[in-house]
Amino acid sequence: MDPLLEGLRLVAAPDVLIAIFASAVYGLVVGSLPGLSATMATALLVPVTFWLSPIAAIATIITASAMAIFSGDIPGALLRIPGTPASAAYTDEAYAFTRKGQPELALGAGLWFSAIGGIVGTLSLMLLAPALAEVALSFSTYEYFWLALLGLMCATLVARSSPIKAIASMLLGLLIACIGMENPAGTPRFTFGIPDLLGGIEPIPALVGVFAVSEVMRAMASVEPPKMPFRRFGSILANQWKLTKQYQWPMWRGNFVGIVIGVLPGAGADMAAWVSYAMSKKFSKTPEKFGTGHAEGLVEAGASNNASLASGWVPSLLFGIPGDTITAIAIGVLYMKGLNPGPTLFTERAGSMYALYIIFILANIIMIPLGIVMIRVASRVLRAPRAAVMPIILLLCAVGSFATGNNLFSVLLVGLFGCLGYVMEKNGYPIAAMVLGIVMGNMVEQSFITSLIKSDGDVLPFFERPVSAFLAALTLGALFWPVAAWAWKRLAPRRAPAAVG
């Protein structure tokens, strides 16, 4: 009970409670603005966490991301413009309710089942993480090397773009991680005589650039969405209990899918929402109703996307492997605050872990009243002109990057990564895979070099330990799967005529 009481004491601190409330309001507002994703909302908070206590800093990341994922449903339902990529999976379904004059039913379902999914995902985090931590304590550098490599490969497999482009993005991230002299040999690499590059590329400026600045550039290059007319809503939570009983199996299936996908490195809420909505339609008794304002898909996808948020912290806290782009940012904050990810975090800092669980549950509980208020004032927030919002975001990016690095070179890096992120997205290269390469590059290299030193240059120990051999098989399978799929597609048309002949 001592760690639990310690966790409650940490969360009850005034600065933590203020941080939770303020980041909740912030996440709701940013998530509801079309084009401003939950990842971008989280990235913009990083400079603020610099001045907060460790628990308050993590509380802002957790709360803002949970709120932003839900509030992305608001413009999707009212304008058919998804606020976040996760809400894009069921935007047409939600908008169909608005066309029928029932927007409060779609938004209420998004709010209610997002909160339930978030709480179920938190329970999975509480059960899975400590149990896996016991196993992870026996891991050596061999297992950590394959685990990090497997995380990178999974990120390329779940990418919605071409697997080849995803692998290229990941390799670019690993190349960026090689910059500087913070490597086992202590040799400057790719610094080009620039002193500011000797310390390497910090993940935070890269993250803020590719997620926030690139969004501003995309907004500048696109047409501003139409303004939403002011309207009054009926009861937001009416009929939600009825939907819970009517669609309890889709809800639990969405929770389960969200938890499983959240644990996969690089997948996240976006993938969970798309997969769950597709599964809901496939297993539904009335698939013909989908797209006409049918709540079943909203129930399953809404429960799934927030469940994946919490379970995405399992690999992040245990191994320092990001479950998604939000936890990639959170890992940087954890290191900055001295809460270094790893299995020992659950033994040496158990109180902080219980505080994290409590914050997750608290964030999903307060999501309901604050979400109702946000839905009712949504028409006013969504009328904010883009020309006023985007310069503020750009200013926050510049000020925040300067504060974290305390030099102008960090500001330049943010701008450069913003341009890189914009070009990559425009050409179909997933920036999430590149981000994972940057975040995990150091871990892959350190584990590989340390393992080679221990084995005196012999590669057999990488495959001799049972767990290491199993992880190696999974990693190599993930690596060669895109090649095998490509070869199968190329050979299939040639086999067909031969079979006919």
Average pLDDT of the segment spanning 283-289 = 80
For residues 325 and 174, the model is more confident at: 174
Average pLDDT of the segment spanning 257-282 = 74
Helix spans in 337-430 (H):
345-348, 350-381, 386-405, 408-426
Tell me how far apart the alpha carbons of residues 303 and 299 are, in angstroms, rounded to a whole number. Answer: 6
Identify the band that residue 73 occupies on the pLDDT scale cut at 50, 70 and 90. confident
Full-prediction pTM beyond 0.95? no
CA dihedral 4, 356, 314, 153 (to 10 degrees): -160
Q: Does residue 30 come out as left (phi exceeding 0), alpha (psi in the -120 to 50 range) or beta? A: alpha
Average pLDDT of the segment spanning 296-304 = 85
Q: Using one digit for the tens of pLDDT, what is the confidence trace for 233-244?
A: 667 777 778 888
Tell me how far apart the alpha carbons of residues 144 and 438 are, in angstroms, rounded to a whole number. Answer: 17
Tell me how far apart the alpha carbons of residues 329 and 331 are, in angstroms, rounded to a whole number. Answer: 5
Residue 20: per-residue pLDDT: 92
For residues 174 and 37, the model is more confident at: 174
- 71-75, 293-297, 318-322, 370-374, range with greatest mean pLDDT: 370-374
Q: Using one digit for the tens of pLDDT, what is the confidence trace for 445-463?
A: 888 888 888 888 888 888 8
Residue 60: per-residue pLDDT: 92
Residue 129: per-residue pLDDT: 75
Task: Assign 179 to helix, strand or coil.
Answer: coil
Does residue 211 have a pLDDT over 60? yes
Does residue 131 have a pLDDT over 60? yes
First to last CA, the chain: 74
User: What is the residue extent of each domain of the chain?
Assistant: 3-222+237-481
> DSSP letter at 209?
I
Close Cβ partners of 116 (under 8 Å, ≥ 6 residues apart): 244, 251, 255, 303
Tell me how far apart the alpha carbons of residues 396 and 102 are, in angstroms, rounded to a whole number. Answer: 37
Query: Do 56 and 13 meet the contact criterion of CB atoms below 8 Å apart?
Result: yes
For residues 74 and 396, the model is more confident at: 74
Residue 274: per-residue pLDDT: 73
In the predicted model, what is the mean pLDDT of the chain? 79
Residue 45: per-residue pLDDT: 84
Residue 449: per-residue pLDDT: 87
User: What whole-number percentage of the chain has pLDDT above 90?
Assistant: 5
Does residue 160 have a pLDDT over 90? no
CA dihedral 72, 73, 75, 77 (to 10 degrees): 170
